[in-house]
A and B are shown apart, each in its own frame.
Chain A
Amino acid sequence: MASSFREVLKSGKFVITSEIGPPKGTNIEKMLHHIDLLKDKVDALNVTDHQSSIMRFPSIGGCLTIKEQGGEPILQMTCRDRNRLALQAELLFAYTRGIRNVLCLTGDAVLVGDNKAAKGVFDLDSTQLLKTIRQMESGKDSGGNDLDGTVEFCAGAIVTPEAKPIEPQLIKFEKKVEAGAEFFQTQAIYDLDNFGKFTEYARQFPVKILAGIILLVSARMAKYMNENVPGILVPQNLIDELASAPKGEALNRGIEIAGRMIATLEKESICHGVHVMAIGREEMVPDILKAAGLAT
Chain B
Amino acid sequence: MKSITKQKPFKEIEQQLDGFDRLYIAGCGTCTTMTKTGGREEVLEMRERLQELGKLVTGWIVIPTACDEMTEVAVKENNGAIQNAKCILVMSCALGVHKLSTYIDKPVIPALDTLFIGVEDSPGCFQEVCAQCGQCVLGETAGICPLTACHKGLLNGPCGGTDNGKCEVDKEKDCAWTLIYQRLKEQGRLDLMRKYHPPRDCNVAPRPRTIKIT
| Chain A neighbourhood of B161, CB < 8 A | 108-109, 230
Q: Say which size band chain B's interface belongs to.
A: 20 to 34
| Chain B neighbourhood of A178, CB < 8 A | 196
Interface of A is mostly: mixed
Q: Does B88 contact A (CB under 8 A)?
A: no
Chain B nearest CB, measured from A119 CB (Å)? 12
Interface of B is mostly: loop
Interface centre among B163, B165, B177 (most CB of A within 10 A): B163
Contact indicator B169/A109 (Cβ below 8 Å): yes
Task: For A120, give its contact among B152, B156, B181 (CB under 8 Å).
Answer: B152
Task: For B162, give its contact among A80, A112, A131, A168 (CB under 8 Å).
Answer: A168
Q: Does A59 contact B (CB under 8 A)?
A: no
Contact indicator A168/B194 (Cβ below 8 Å): no
Q: Does A17 contact B (CB under 8 A)?
A: no
Q: Which residues 166-200 in A have Cβ within 8 Å of B in the complex?
A: 167-169, 171-172, 174-175, 178-179, 187
Chain B nearest CB, measured from A197 CB (Å)? 19
Contact indicator A142/B199 (Cβ below 8 Å): yes
| Chain A neighbourhood of B154, CB < 8 A | 106, 122, 125
Q: Determine the residue in chain B with the shortest Cβ distance to A143.
A: B199
Task: For B177, give its contact among A109, A123, A128, A168 (CB under 8 Å).
Answer: A168
Q: Does B153 contact A (CB under 8 A)?
A: yes
Q: Does A272 contact B (CB under 8 A)?
A: no
Instruction: Pick the interface stretch among A2-10, A156-164, A203-211.
Output: A156-164
Given A109-B169, A171-B190, are A187 and B199 also a contact pair (CB < 8 Å)?
no
Q: Does B202 contact A (CB under 8 A)?
A: yes
Q: Determine the residue in chain A with the shortest Cβ distance to B177.
A: A168
Q: Determine the residue in chain A with the shortest Cβ distance to B202.
A: A123
Report Cα–Cα, A259/B154, bound state, in Å: 37
Task: For A172, give its contact among B152, B156, B199 (CB under 8 Å).
Answer: B156
| Chain B neighbourhood of A175, CB < 8 A | 156-157, 194, 196
Q: Mark A196-231, 1 if CB is under 8 A from B, else 0.
A: 000000000000000000000000000000000011
Q: Does B160 contact A (CB under 8 A)?
A: yes
Chain A nearest CB, measured from B167 CB (Å)? 8
Q: Does A111 contact B (CB under 8 A)?
A: yes
Chain B nearest CB, measured from A179 CB (Å)? 7
Q: Say which size band chain A's interface belongs to.
A: 35 or more
| Chain B neighbourhood of A92, CB < 8 A | none
Chain B nearest CB, measured from A263 CB (Å)? 27
Q: Does A251 contact B (CB under 8 A)?
A: no
Q: Does B57 contact A (CB under 8 A)?
A: no
| Chain A neighbourhood of B200, CB < 8 A | 123
Contact indicator B193/A168 (Cβ below 8 Å): yes
Contact indicator A171/B196 (Cβ below 8 Å): no
Q: Does B64 contact A (CB under 8 A)?
A: no
Contact indicator B177/A230 (Cβ below 8 Å): no
Chain B nearest CB, measured from A183 CB (Å)? 16
Q: Does A165 contact B (CB under 8 A)?
A: yes
Beyond A112-B168, A167-B185, 14 additional contacts (C-beta under 8 Å) are A108-B168, A109-B152, A109-B161, A126-B156, A128-B155, A128-B199, A163-B160, A163-B163, A164-B164, A165-B181, A168-B178, A179-B196, A187-B160, A230-B163
Point out residues on B near A: beta carbons under 8 Å: 151-165, 168-169, 177-178, 181, 185, 190, 193-194, 196-200, 202
Point out residues on A near B: beta carbons under 8 Å: 80, 84, 105-109, 111-112, 120, 122-128, 131-132, 142, 158, 160, 163-165, 167-169, 171-172, 174-175, 178-179, 187, 230-231
